[in-house]
Amino acid sequence: MIKIAVLPGDGIGPEIINESLKVIESVSEKIDIKFEHTFCDVGAIAIDKYNNPLPDETLKICKESDAILFGAIGHPRFDNNPKLKVRPEQGLLKLRKELGLYANLRPVKSYKELLSLSPLKKNIIEDVDMLIVRELTGGLYFGEKKSDNNFSSDLCTYTVKEIERVTSVAIDFAKKRRNKITLVDKANVLETSRLWRKTVQEISLKHPEVQLNYMFIDNAAMQIILNPKQFDVILTENLFGDIISDEASVIGGSIGILSSASIGESMGLFEPIHGSFPQATNKNIANPVAAILSVSMMLNYLNLGNGAKMIEKAVENSLINKVSTADINDISPSKTSEVGDYISNFIRENN
Residue 242 binds ligand IPM, judged by CB under 6 A: yes
56: annotated active-site residue: no
Kindly indicate which of the ranges 88-96, 226-234, 293-301, 319-327 contains the residues binding ligand IPM, using the contact rule CB under 6 A: 88-96
CA separation (Å) from 147 to 83, 151, 316?
A: 11, 6, 48
Selected binder of ligand IPM within 23, 44, 45, 92 (CB under 6 A): 92
Distance in angstroms (rounded) separating the CA atoms of residues 110 and 114: 7
Do 230 and 29 form a contact (C-beta atoms < 8 A)? no
Distance in angstroms (rounded) separating the CA atoms of residues 261 and 101: 9
Q: Which of 109, 180, 186, 229 is catalytic?
A: 186
Selected binder of Mg ion within 242, 251, 257, 261 (CB under 5 A): 242
Kindly indicate which of the ranges 30-38, 87-95, 186-194, 302-310 contains the residues binding ligand IPM, using the contact rule CB under 6 A: 87-95
Residue 98 binds ligand IPM, judged by CB under 6 A: no
Do 270 and 212 form a contact (C-beta atoms < 8 A)? no
Distance in angstroms (rounded) separating the CA atoms of residues 87 and 69: 21
The DSSP secondary structure of 74-133, one letter per residue, reads --HHHHT-TT-S--HHHHHHHHHHHTT--EEEEEEE--GGGGGGSSS-HHHHTT-EEEEE
Residue 89 touches which of ligand IPM, Mg ion, none (Cβ within 5-8 Å per kind): ligand IPM
Q: Which of 22, 102, 111, 141 is catalytic?
A: 141
Kindly indicate which of the ranges 8-16, 63-71, 89-97, 168-176 contains the residues binding ligand IPM, using the contact rule CB under 6 A: 89-97
Instruction: Specify the residue, 73 or 339, whose C-beta has the smaller distance to ligand IPM.
Output: 73
Selected binder of ligand IPM within 25, 29, 66, 89 (CB under 6 A): 89
Residue 312 touches which of ligand IPM, Mg ion, none (Cβ within 5-8 Å per kind): none
Do 239 and 185 form a contact (C-beta atoms < 8 A)? no
Q: How many of the chain's residues bind Mg ion (CB under 5 A)?
A: 1
148: annotated active-site residue: no
Minimum distance between the CB of residue 242 and Mg ion, rounded to whole angstroms? 4
Distance in angstroms (rounded) separating the CA atoms of residues 301 and 278: 30
By the 10 Å C-beta count (0-12 exposed, 13-18 middle, 19+ buried), 231 is classed as buried
What count of other Cβ atoms lies within 10 Å of the Cβ of residue 228?
22
Instruction: Specify the residue, 135 or 242, whose C-beta has the smaller distance to ligand IPM.
Output: 242
Instruction: Specify the residue, 24 or 108, whose C-beta has the smaller distance to Mg ion.
Output: 108
Residues 6 or more apart whose Cβ sits within 8 Å of residue 192:
139, 156, 157, 158, 237
Q: Which residues bind ligand IPM (CB under 6 A)?
A: 73, 89, 92-93, 242
Q: Which residues bind Mg ion (CB under 5 A)?
A: 242
- Catalytic positions, please? 141, 186, 218, 242, 246
